[in-house]
Structure 1
Amino acid sequence: MIKAKIFTILFLVISINCIGQGNDWTYENFESKFISYVPTKKEHVSNKNFSYGEFVVVETKKNINNKPENFNYANYWNVTNALYALNEKKEIWEISLKKLGESKDGCEYLESFKEQAKFYNDSKELYDNLILNCSSFLNQKEIEFNLFEYVKKNQLDLELVKLIKNVSENDQKFRSVDMGKQHEIDFKNQKIIDSLFHNYKTYIGKSLVGDKYKSAMWAVIQHSNIEMMEKYLPIIQNAVTEEELSVVPFKMLIDRVYWINNGYQIFGSQAGVDLADKKTRTEIAKKYGVE
Structure 2
Amino acid sequence: MKPRLDYFPKQSADVSASDYSYGISILGETYQKVKSDQGVFNYADYWNIAVALVRLKTDAVSAKEYLYQSKKLNENNFAQIFEELGGGFDAWEYCLLRTEYDVIKAECAALNAKNNASILKGSGNLPVPKRRDKGKGELIDLLNGLMENDQRYRTGSVENRSYQQLLDRENLSVIDELYKKYNTYLGKSLVGEAHSTVMWLIIQHSSLESMEKYLPCIIEAVRTRELAAAPLKMLLDRIASISYGYQYYGTQKGVPMASAEIIGMINKKYGNVYPEARTAEKFRLVTNQKNF
TM-score by length of 1: 0.48
- Higher share of residues assigned helix: 1
